[in-house]
Amino acid sequence: MSLTSIPLAKGSVPGLGHVPRLMRDPLGVLRSMHTEGPVVLLKIGTMPMVYVTSPNTVNEVMVTNAKAFRKGRLFDRVAALVGEGLANANGPKHIHNRRLIQPMFYKERLEGYADVMGVRARALADSWHHGQEIDVNQAMGTYAIETLAETLFAADIGQSAVQAVREDLPVILKNMLRRALAPTWMDSWPVWNEFNRSAARMRSVIDDVITATRASEPSGRPDLLSLLLAARDEEGVGLTDDEVRDELTTMLFAGTETTASALAWALHHLAERPEVEQAVLDEIKTVVGDRPVGFADVMQLPTITRVLDESIRLHGVVTLMRRSTQAVTIGGHEIPEGTEVLISLYGLHRHPDIYPDPDRFDPDRWLPEQVTARPRHHAVPFGAGNRRCIGDKFAWMEATLTLATLLPRWKLTPRPGAKPPAEATASMAHPDRVEMVVHQRDAH
């Protein structure tokens, strides 16, 4: 079986394939590929990569034929960092650990994390002052890391870990994609010194917290680490300390930049669209009033939900990867075992036939009547099927609580003269810088 029935994307250069085209304009390639077909062949050097571009072919890979795939090439390289945490594990190990961990994200647990998030959001709002200039992308990055770390670890023993994660995680995230693409024989080169140091320190700090948490009395607060340590399957088998460390690290990697980017883009777009911002403020006033925002409010704020839906459509996770573990048919094409498959959420979510004028920020696209008018499987910002994001509700709750706490107190405007944020291409289309000025709402 071969890949010859799949059309080769334009612009392939002998020996290099599509690398020059991808290096010139990666996001441009990702968003235009649908014009070449629902299944297209890309070449990274001489390595073929099947690129699925339509809602149906994406769904075939992620849901209907999910059993024929495992995680792809990039994940082999990050295994040294996250071991076989959920995002990296395959087959029976993935099914087993996912079943154990899923209950930590059930409603009754989320309610407990919401209290921690509410305190964090109010502390952030308290920390700003009138006229302050901030890079919102950086501020949300630190905030998301600290918030997740405080939810993961018990308050009394987790402080050193929160501190280490705040310092080391940004270094790791910034370099992770480059590291995944670089060959293994380069791993000890001096250019990786800072990365290697941060990765080693984060692992050892998390190991220390696991040991301390095992030895301590239950904290009474529902931190994720205590829940992971207590989790047991039907046979009474739990996770080893190494597995717990891999799961915590995975959550820190998967759950911080994603949430921070959604928040930073939402604040940027709201500043550009005062009428949307006003609708959000009116809704918060009606639903929440002057009391602190809480868990029960999250579902009662549909305007914020639409703002977040639209921010994540435009700037969410860029691509997902899979590798076929058996021969499988996708979009009518036969794909042999061992083929790398690329899913571009960026391309799907900016498909002009599905989202007219796709670059425009328009939260009304998420009004129920507009959603039902679109084709099935049109939006998968949290993935789909057996590998759908386990932290989707957690992230949603954090982003909603944060916006609903910050916005009534602070108006953010672009810093005069600041360049509009550009999409930095990593795993997320997160902004490079979002330079803004903070104004107290009742100060004139």
Query: Among residues 250 and 402, whose Cβ is nearest to ligand HEM?
Result: 250
Q: Which one-letter DSSP state was computed for residue 428?
A: B
Q: Work out the end-to-end distance of the chain between its first and last CA atoms, rounded to an integer number of angstroms.
A: 70
Reduced DSSP (H G I as helix, E B as strand, rest coil) percent helix, strand, coil of the chain, to 5: 55, 15, 30
Residues at the contact surface with ligand HEM, assessed by CB under 6 A: 86-87, 98, 250-251, 254-255, 258-259, 262, 312, 316-317, 320, 381-383, 387, 389-391, 394-395
* Strand positions, DSSP E, 110-218: 133-135
Query: Among residues 89 and 164, whose Cβ is nearest to ligand HEM?
Result: 89
Query: Among residues 309 and 435, whose Cβ is nearest to ligand HEM?
Result: 309
- Cα–Cα distance, 360 to 212 (Å, whole number): 49
* Smallest gap from residue 16 Cβ to ligand HEM (A): 27
With CB atoms as reference, the residue minimizing the distance to ligand HEM is 391
Tokens for 100? 């154990």
* Smallest gap from residue 96 Cβ to ligand HEM (A): 11
CA neighbor of 311 nearest in space, from 392, 399, 390, 388: 399
Query: Among residues 345 and 438, whose Cβ is nearest to ligand HEM?
Result: 345
* Smallest gap from residue 36 Cβ to ligand HEM (A): 23
Q: For residue 397, is it left (φ>0), alpha (ψ between -120 and 50) or beta?
A: alpha
Query: Among residues 6 and 248, whose Cβ is nearest to ligand HEM?
Result: 248
* Smallest gap from residue 109 Cβ to ligand HEM (A): 11
- Cα–Cα distance, 33 to 417 (Å, whole number): 35
Query: Among residues 320 and 401, whose Cβ is nearest to ligand HEM?
Result: 320
Strand pairing class (69-71; 429-431): unpaired
* Smallest gap from residue 257 Cβ to ligand HEM (A): 9
**Would you list the DSSP string of 355-408?**
SSSTTS--GGGGSHHHHHHSPTT---TT--GGGS-TTHHHHHHHHHHHHHHHTT
* Smallest gap from residue 434 Cβ to ligand HEM (A): 16
